[in-house]
Every structure is written in structure tokens, then in C-alpha cells.
Amino acid sequence: MKIEVLYFAWVRERIGEPRETVETEAATVMDLIKELRAREPRYDLAFSDLKSLRVALDQELTEFDASLEGVREVAFFPPMTGG
Amino acid sequence: MQISVQSEDFDLAQVLKGFGKAPNTGATVSFTGLVRDDMGTLEHMEIEHYPGMCEAAITKIAEEAATRWSLTDCLVIHRYGQLRPGDQIMMVATAARHRVEAFEAAEYLMDYLKSRAPFWKKEVTRDGADWVAAKDADEEALNRW
């Protein structure tokens, strides 16, 4: 399946691009992270501390063990600092 | 209810002029957040946002507040892009029958916008640039609701 993967703030800076289309069979967010980390050091670095990361599936905040079934858009970012 | 995620500035007086006009409104509260420069070294602040999710997240937060405090009106404006010290970043306004509801709902909105609306602030100072880290206190603030 094809998934749009978006990166924001320092995650975007470490990976070096704001978004990409990823071809994957990952079942969960965690599986996708493992695949990405294995790709290149910049991904490995960006995902090295999951406590400082948040994930949204189709624009809804969720947990790392969430299923990717039917998901079109995954976004990774640091804790939000709005307001 | 009015939600706006925008790069351009807003006119506080103009916005409030048309706010909370329902006849059962007895109180309105508004809060405005500004770009603060504690050390006098801030050149500008860069606010990154997640288009689409921002609007969805803010709408959800505002709807929850409107229901919980029976608001008669509710408004959130949040800016993104490059802002300078003293610039307005965002505002919330709440209208209710009584002031307690209006005040509480405004605080609820602010607490949730801080850590549940997908914005990220980067401070560019004379000494370099750095992302503003989320505070544990911001996350703990949600527990009181």
C-alpha cells in the first residue's frame, strides 16, 4: 500500500523533507517506524527517541501501536506548542 | 462558532465587535497571545502548522468547550508563519450566560490549544534558532479538566 508520510518541525529538519509517499506493508505505526529507521541514518536519528515524538493518522492524534489499515496519511512530529 | 488558522494579523476590536451577539449572552471573555521576547534577543518566531489537522483539532476542542459550558458563542484565531516580538499569535473568545462559564471555557481552550493543536514554534534569536520545547506543565494542565 501507498501511504503519505508527513514530517513537521525538527522531525522534518532531521529527515530533510516535509513529506513523501512510502510504499509499505507495515501493519502498525511501530512497524512503519522500524522500516523507516532501517533506511538511512537520518531516519534512524529522527526516530531515535519515541518519547519526544507524536503521531497522527489521517490528521487524528493516536498511539504508536495503532493499526495502519485503511490509513492514507501518517504524520510524525514533536509535542505541539500552540497557543 | 468561528475557527480561523491564518498567516495574516487580526484586528482584535473588529473581531470582538461582532462576537457574542446572541440575546442570552451575559458575559464575554477574550484572550490574546503575543510573541514574547524575554531576553531581548529574539529576531522572529516561526510558527509551523499542519494544514487541515489544525482546523480539525481546534474545531473539536471548541465544540467540546461549547457543549461543556453551554457557550452562546466561541471563537479561535491562530496564526502561523513568521512573527515578530509583540505580534499577536492567537486569540480565543468565549460567550456565555454568566462570567464563570466564559472564563473557564477560555482557559480550557487555551490549555488544549497549547498541547493538542498541531503548531510548532521556532525561536530565531541573535544567537541561533531553536524549537520551543513543550513543557510538562502544559500537559499536566489538561488533567484539571
Q: Would residue A82 count as lying in a domain? A: no
Nearest CA of chain A to the CA of B2: how many Å? 16
Contact across the interface for B48 and A6, Cβ inside 8 Å: no
Q: How confident is the model at residue B75 (pLDDT cuts 50, 70, 90)?
A: very high
HSE at residue A25, side-chain half, CA atoms within 13 A, is: 0
Q: What is the dihedral of CA A18, A23, A28, A30, to 10 degrees?
A: -60
Domain count, chain A: 1
Range of the domain at A51: 2-77
pLDDT band at A40; cut points 50, 70, 90: very high
In a domain, A22, yes or no: yes
Which range (A24-33, B45-54, B61-70, B130-139) has the least confidence? Answer: B130-139
Kindly list the structural domains of chain B, giving each domain's residue range(s) and its CATH number in brackets, ordered by start: 2-144 (3.90.1170.40)
Residue A12 lies in a domain: yes
Percent of chain B whose predicted confidence (pLDDT) is above 70? 100
A21 in B contact zone (CB under 8 Å): no
Give the CATH number of the domain where residue A67 resides.
3.10.20.30
B80, B86, B91, B97 alpha-carbon torsion, rounded to 10°: 180
Name the residue in chain B with its Cα closest to that of A13.
B131
In a domain, A62, yes or no: yes
Chain B 53-72, CB below 8 Å of chain A: which residues?
A: 53, 56-57
- The span from the CA of B59 to the CA of B56, in Å, is 5
